[in-house]
Structure 1
Amino acid sequence: MTALRIGFVGVGRMGAPMVRRLVAAGHEVRALGRSGDARRRVSELGAEPVSFTAAVGTGAAAVVVCVFTDDQVRAVCLDTPLLASMPGGSVLIVHTTGSPRTAEDIAAQAAAHDIRVVDAPVSGGPPDIDAGTLTMFAGGTEDALARARPVLRCYGDPVLPVGPLGSGQRVKLVNNALFAAQLGLLTEAVRLASELGVDEATVLSALQHASGASRAAASVAAKGSVAAFHASVGEFIGKDVATVRTLAAELGATMGTLDAAINAQFFDTRRRS
């Protein structure tokens, strides 16, 4: 495998293990670290810390953006010299879950610099990155995906091509709406079990061996309870639920029963407890 120079923005909960895997694969990684502590963390991962987005993009075959919100993606990619600093023929990979329109707006500016764009939101967490088994929904042209794959395969499998640019976000948002709805239903199932005199740990364990099994149920069972699961990842789920609701409204789509199930979720019902 040819070693690449890769720029990285967003060395947080998800980004840090991605950087670690890229470095372990032999790539030269430059990662943004605006503070002294952030630059120390980047160095500890084996990457080169840089203070400005232009330095992230300079000479990079690929730049990965893995920040928390859609607004942060827009700020990094559209309000800084990042695109202007990247070489022609390079690829920008966006992992953050957000609006397909953000990827399209970035691509419109990137085209002027001969830069390809791939939206590749992810499904999974840090343990999946560590194992190289993170699921990615990749939207973009065949040429863009070909340039992105050597990067994505360092920490992702499967990398699923799902259509043109923006399709990765659309599939991820549908996935997250379904997952959140399953969590809502599971919350109600745990409540029902309690009313029937069965404790939460017992019903969560039993469901893993029955027709009610699901990845949502397995994820909650691994944390021990609905409350513990949402304490761990509720912020991320809540952000994505807000995004899918906003996008559906903008596009004139309806969420139907999915929305009713999401409304039963712990991070909504907790306020009434």
Structure 2
Amino acid sequence: MATIAFIGLGNMGRPMALNLVKAGHVLRVFDLNPAAVAALVAVGAVAAATPGEAVDGAEIAVSMLPAGLQVREVYTGAGGVFDRLPAGGLCIDCSTIDVASARDVGNEAAKRGLRFVDAPVSGGTAGAEAGTLTFMVGGPESAFSAAKPILEAMGKTIVHAGGAGNGQAAKICNNMVLGISMIAVSEAFAMAEKLGLDAQTLFDISSKSSGQCWAMTSYCPAPGPVPTAPANRGYAPGFAAAMMLKDLDLAEKAAESVGAATPLGHLAAQLYRDYCAQGDGGKDFSGIIQMLAKGA
């Protein structure tokens, strides 16, 4: 078992770290929220005052951070992870950030004789708690091979997407599809209600027809058809609308950087921006059906 520095214990990071403890790893943890740190200390982790201190005595660093700025600071800043991790050490960044930042940090790691992978996740808080996340991993094959056993303690599907930054590329492309498809499904169910077609009937038909997609069959935005979906618990977030907007914004920036045409991705981002501007950013992203049903 390894000694692992885990940096970032938010809604996703905390259950991921707990699964590493359950797998028998020794964790040294850092977060700005003392309560989040205390929850890990209660199950045997060691608290650290800074990200750099968390790395002391560890051979692996895992992070789950809000954005590229924080990832750059934690890894490449003075006294940060790269300054204190021993040569040959392994870094696994599970944050969802811009592709450029992931590639820059990965390149810097290589210059310092460290192994680095960007490994963003899919599966939401439920997947993090159950240890069934999907990891999309970018980085050298050797770093991926070293990271895979650690990731398997937190997830079920581990896919090597290619070189540095390709994990982030896969994540934002996937979530652009998800954001667009959730809007399409929401529009259909909102229109069906106005046409006098109840949600269960539309679900029974469309879920077995050409309109079938994950946003409908696993995460239906209309209350009723999928009992486990957030629609049946007041749109309490499994994946918050604000996080979807973040990913769609990242997709837009990536598209612009390579001249890719993403008109539906652009429109989806604008609709989620409108939804969050209403004060609903903390709701599940499937809650956008409520705005669309009003004719916004």
Query: TM-score, length-normalised on structure 2?
Result: 0.82
What residue is the counterpart of 2:260 in the other structure?
Answer: 253
How far apart, in 1, do the equivalents of 2:219 and 2:242 lie?
Answer: 16
Which residue of structure 2 aligns with residue 86 of structure 1? 85
Residue of structure 1 in register with 2:219 after alignment? 219
- Report how far residue 99 of structure 1 moved: 1.4
Task: Give distance in 2, aligned partners of 1:182 and 1:147.
Answer: 35
- Count of matched residue positions in the alignment of Structure 1 and Structure 2: 271
Residue 68 (structure 1) aligned with residue 66 (structure 2)? yes
**195-204 or 147-156: bigger deviation:** 195-204
- Give the superposition deviation at 1:262: 5.4
Alpha-carbon distance in structure 1 between the residues aligned to 2:237 and 2:125: 16
- Per-residue deviation, residues 156-192 of structure 1 (Å, max 9, x unmatched): 1210011111111111111011111101111211222
Question: Residue 237 of structure 1 aligns to which amino acid in structure 2?
Answer: M
In the other structure, the counterpart of 2:145 is 146
TM-score by length of 1: 0.89
**Partners in 2 of 1:177 and 1:155 — Cα distance?**
24
Secondary structure of the corresponding residue to residue 224 of structure 1: helix
Which residue in 1 is equivalent to 2:106?
A: 107
Structure 1 residue runs of 5 or longer lacking an equivalent are none
* Equivalent runs, 1:101-140 vs 2, <5 Å: 101-140=100-139
Q: Are residues 1:267 and 2:280 paired?
A: no
Paired with 1:261 and 1:227, the residues of 2 have a C-alpha distance of 22
Deviation sequence 1:67-114 (CA, Å, 0-9, x none): 122222222222242211101111111111111211121123222431
Secondary structure at the aligned position of 2:145 is classed as helix
Q: 1:230 offset after TM fit, Å?
A: 6.9
Secondary structure, aligned partner of 2:95: coil
In the alignment, is the contact (CA less than 8 A) between 1:16 and 1:45 conserved in 2? no
Does the 8 A contact of 2:124 with 2:239 survive in 1?
no
Equivalent residue number for residue 48 of structure 1: 46
- The match for 1:12 is 10
Give distance in 1, aligned partners of 2:199 and 2:48: 48
Compared CA separation, residues 79 and 212, structure 1 to 2 (3 A): same
Q: Are residues 42 and 230 of structure 1, via their aligned partners in 2, closer, same or farther at CA, if it must alter by over 3 Å?
A: closer
For 2:98, the aligned partner's letter is: S
| Amino acid of the structure 2 residue aligned with 1:118 | V
2:197 matched residue in structure 1: 198
**CA spacing shift, 1:95–1:205, aligned 2, 3 Å:** farther
Partner Cα distance (1:102, 1:39) in 2: 27
- d(CA) in 2 for partners of 1:34, 1:177: 30
Q: Unpaired runs of 5+ in structure 2?
A: 221-225, 277-287
What SS does the aligned partner of 2:134 have?
A: strand
CA contact (8 A) 1:132 1:157 kept: yes
2-structure distance, mates of 1:102, 1:219:
31
Shift, 1:56, TM fit: 1.6
- Aligned residue number for residue 228 of structure 1: 235
8 Å CA contact 1:110, 1:116 repeated in 2: yes
Residue equivalent to 1:181:
180
Higher mean displacement: 161-170 or 43-52: 43-52
Counterpart Cα distance in 2 of 1:35 and 1:104: 28
Partner residue of 2:249 out of 229, 242, 247:
242
> In the alignment, is the contact (CA less than 8 A) between 1:137 and 1:160 conserved in 2?
yes
Q: Secondary structure, in 3 states, of the residue corresponding to 2:128? A: helix
* Distance verdict in 2 for CA 1:88–1:21, change over 3 Å: same
Over 3 Å counting, the alpha-carbon distance change for 1:74 and 1:226 in structure 2 is farther
Which among 51, 55, 58 is matched to residue 56 of structure 2? 58
Secondary structure at the counterpart of residue 219 of structure 1: coil
The aligned amino acid for 1:160 is V
